[in-house]
Amino acid sequence: MTAEHSEIRALIERWVSSVRRRDLEGITATYAPDVVAFDAIGPLRFTGRASYREHWQRCQEQVRGEPLLEMNDLRIEQDGALACAYGLCHCGCANEKGEMESAWMRFTQVLRRIDGQWLIVHEHWSAPFDPQSGQAHFDLQPE
């Protein structure tokens, strides 16, 4: 593992830790000011840290208890000042009855080294879906 890969992995681990702690400042600190995000929830696109921060705040307000966020099969590709991290993420939270509701999602984060530090410049979350029915497949498990 290169030093760059270690730095990128550390950034992602800070991001995960911030999400689990519901630390909005910690979450948004990992994004570049001009981040563009395609989240699985909400509008088609978020442009800029402030816009994505508002989305994260709304998401945090809907989470009951401690959020579930587990990365699986995280892979990092890096060349120069650009990197891509991707994998599967098990995420969810308790419902109104206190029962955990979760699903596996796909995620991709594109990072750029800006002023000596890695920041997420693009993030994409998705769930597989059936194009015939339009229904998302939230019941799939990693192989």
Quote the tokens at residue 31: 């994004």
Residue 112, CB half-sphere, CA atoms under 13 Å: how many? 11
pTM > 0.85: yes or no: yes
Can you tell me the distance from the alpha carbon of 1 to that of 108, in angstroms, rounded to the nearest whole number? Answer: 20
CATH of domain 3-126: 3.10.450.50
Would you state the pLDDT for residue 121?
98
Looking at residue 83, what DSSP letter applies?
A: E
Residue ranges covered by each domain of the chain: 3-126
Can you tell me the distance from the alpha carbon of 17 to that of 114, in angstroms, rounded to the nearest whole number? Answer: 22
Averages of pLDDT over runs of 10 residues in the chain (143 residues) are 92 95 95 96 93 92 84 95 97 85 95 97 93 89 87
Would you state the pLDDT for residue 62?
82
Would you state the pLDDT for residue 54?
95
Q: What would you report as the CA-atom Rg of the chain, rounded to the nearest whole angstrom?
A: 15
Would you state the pLDDT for residue 123?
97
